[in-house]
Amino acid sequence: MEDFTERVVKLLKEVPAGTVASYGQIARLAGNPGGARHVSRILHSMSRKHGIPWHRIVNAKGEIVISDGEAAFEQEERLREEGVPVIGGKRVDMERYRWHPGFGEEE
């Protein structure tokens, strides 16, 4: 596994229940500010194998962007189960529920 991919997988596993992170936030924290699409590909291909809480990742606006209706519904349900309200079935309040990984770290 490449270094960036390893860092992304590690970060994705650290996003705690009750919070969300954006694809871009994870990419920046992993050292590639332009790597949001790469984060998306990693989620798609490695979530099951590595036990990644994929449902905690949304776009920068807090929106669920999965095109598969069933998977989008599952993401919404999982977030709600963790106490994260999903507005209109597709958006999370990023100001309130964004993951803050640690003091002094970039978001």
95: left (phi over 0), alpha (psi -120 to 50) or beta: alpha
Query: pLDDT, tens digit, for every residue of 78-104?
Result: 999 999 999 998 999 999 999 998 744
C-alpha–C-alpha distance, residues 39 and 91, integer Å: 19
Q: Which residues, 6+ apart, have CB-to-CB distance to 22 below 8 Å?
A: 36, 57, 58, 59, 60, 62, 94, 98
* pTM of the complete model beyond 0.75: yes
- DSSP state, 40? H
Q: Would you state the CATH architecture of domain 3-97?
A: Orthogonal Bundle (1.10)
Q: Is the pLDDT of residue 107 over 80?
A: no
pLDDT at 1: 62
